[in-house]
């Protein structure tokens, strides 16, 4: 029998054809994710899964997928997947580490400019009827500004690459493990107190959850533009809403949200309503990698990882946890 491959979101035809050459493919027509019950139904006899941002995999998922051998994530940040549970169950997990870097860095700059230059407010005024130039909607530019990048992984460094062309007065970096000769390295508190812009490019870890919170925002430079393209729960959205309300922050722009961090049991179930209502916010629906040729390349890489695992070989982008896990303890049978 051909292996069963479950694909949880629509993929490009070329990628679908590649997978169909190696197995029986069941694909969600999307764009809405399957319910948990639908996913379990498809996974109960599946050998492989291609996963996307809305998916989460935990021990319960694995109990409902007894034949599952591999999960190929068509994404970079895999914090919605319980890697240790997967490793203990003998289910390999792979991801796509590099292809999202450039488009995400581009979006970070776009969000920063949109927030600081009142792009959404200007668009709204034009659509309501334009009578010509008026002395209004004055903002701040990147040129001549102090800009901090928090997190100097691949995306953070790519953001710095782009900022170097804007004539910023100073570039600051925040990363205990990073260094860059183009940056002055500072603490997060120093970055928040000194910068006109702060761009967050931080993964979600125990130590980075709510890294930006009420305490940190007490010392923020007044009028600062805060941009989050890392992970939603790196910021406390309620604290950001309070900082906007009392005008400590000048604007907040984000492509990621606390509600999306599925494995956190106490995550909010919606974006903080005061953020949605505030006029000095700019939001995009997690489109950091939403460039056509990039999405195709991501899917192709995920498919390659999946097919290698099904053939008995190690995926190119195997998550580290798979190498270091202990066997899964006995678990009760699923209902």
Three-state secondary structure string covering 64-112: CCCCCCEEEECCCCCCCECHHHHHHCCCEEECCCCCCHHHHHHHHHHHH
Q: Annotated catalytic sites, by residue?
A: 231, 260, 286
Q: How far apart are the first and last CA of the chain?
A: 27
What lies within 8 Å, CB to CB, of 197 at 6+ separation is 112, 116, 142, 145, 146, 147, 148, 224, 225, 226, 227
What lies within 8 Å, CB to CB, of 55 at 6+ separation is 8, 33, 39, 80, 81, 262
Edge-first strand listing for the sheet containing 146-150: 184-185, 170-174, 146-150, 197-200, 224-228, 249-254, 281-283
């Amino acid at each position: 029998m051909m292996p069963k491959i479950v694909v949880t979101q629509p993929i490009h035809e070329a990628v679908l054809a590649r997978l169909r050459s190696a197995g029986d493919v069941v694909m969600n027509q999307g764009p809405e994710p399957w319910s948990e019950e639908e996913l379990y139904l498809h996974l109960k006899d599946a050998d492989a899964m291609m996963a996307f941002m809305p998916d989460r995999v935990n021990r319960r998922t694995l109990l409902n997928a007894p034949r599952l051998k591999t999960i190929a994530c068509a994404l970079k940040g895999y914090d919605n997947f319980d890697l240790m549970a997967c490793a203990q169950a003998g289910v390999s997990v792979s991801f796509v580490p590099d292809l999202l870097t450039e488009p995400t860095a581009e979006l970070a700059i776009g969000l920063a400019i949109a927030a600081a230059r009142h792009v959404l407010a200007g668009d709204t005024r034009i659509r309501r009827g334009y009578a010509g130039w008026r002395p209004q909607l004055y903002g701040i530019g990147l040129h001549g500004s102090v800009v901090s990048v928090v997190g100097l992984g691949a995306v953070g460094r790519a953001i710095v690459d782009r900022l170097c062309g804007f004539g910023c007065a100073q570039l600051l970096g925040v990363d205990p493990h990073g260094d860059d000769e183009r940056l002055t390295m500072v603490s997060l508190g120093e970055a928040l107190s000194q910068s006109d812009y702060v761009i967050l490019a931080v993964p979600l870890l125990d130590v980075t959850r709510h890294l930006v919170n009420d305490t940190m925002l007490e010392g923020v430079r007044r009028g600062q533009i805060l941009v989050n393209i890392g992970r939603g729960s790196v910021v406390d959205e309620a604290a950001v809403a309070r900082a906007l309300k009392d005008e400590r922050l000048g604007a907040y722009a984000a492509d990621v949200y606390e509600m999306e961090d599925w494995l956190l049991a106490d995550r909010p179930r919606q974006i903080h309503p005061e953020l949605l209502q505030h006029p000095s916010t700019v939001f995009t629906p997690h489109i950091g990698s939403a460039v056509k040729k990039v999405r195709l390349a991501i899917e192709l890489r995920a498919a390659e990882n999946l097919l290698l695992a099904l053939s008995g070989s190690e995926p190119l982008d195997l998550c580290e946890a798979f190498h270091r896990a202990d066997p899964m303890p006995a678990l009760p049978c699923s209902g």
